Amino acid sequence: MLKDIVFVEPVGDYRIKLRFEDGAEGIVDVSEIVPFEGIFSALRDNNAFNKVRLNNELGTIEWENGADLDPDVLYSKVIGNPIPRYPVCIQAE
């Protein structure tokens, strides 16, 4: 079940402190889950990374360049559970 992020704070070295709507909180090292390529390449710059912010509409975090992260993945990291795997949907032609 999707849990919204209600608080984010950068704490250095590509780590962020998160709190979720159910009270779960912890620090996530984003460098462990993001390759800093493509849209995430700008976040190699600590100044850009530290501008992380909440997107209350989506219940997740984002950066100025539009990069965002799946709150399910972040929640899994915070509570120490495996990252969820979702089935791939293939549409018939």
Domains recognised in the chain with CATH numbers: 5-79 (3.30.2020.10)
**Residue reference for tokens 């999707």:** 2
pLDDT on residue 86: 61
Which residue shows structure tokens 């090292």?
Answer: 29
Question: Where is pLDDT greater, at 26 or 88?
Answer: 26
Predicted local confidence at residue 58, as pLDDT: 92
The pLDDT, as a whole number, for residue 82 is 76
Which pTM value belongs to this model? Answer: 0.85
> Tokens 């209600």 correspond to what residue?
6
Judged against a pLDDT cut of 70, whether residue 1 lies above it is answered with no
Write out pLDDT tens, residues 5-31. 999 999 999 999 999 999 999 999 999
Asked if residue 88 has pLDDT above 80, the reply is no
Phi, psi of 68 (to 5 degrees): -145, 170
pLDDT tens per residue, range 32-87: 999 999 999 999 999 999 999 999 999 999 999 999 999 999 999 999 987 766 66
Q: What is the 3-state secondary structure (H, E, C) of the chain?
A: CCCCEEEEEEEECCEEEEEECCCCEEEEEHHHCCCCCHHHHHHHCHHHHCCCEEECCCCEEECCCCCECCHHHHHHHHHCCCCCCCCCCCCCC
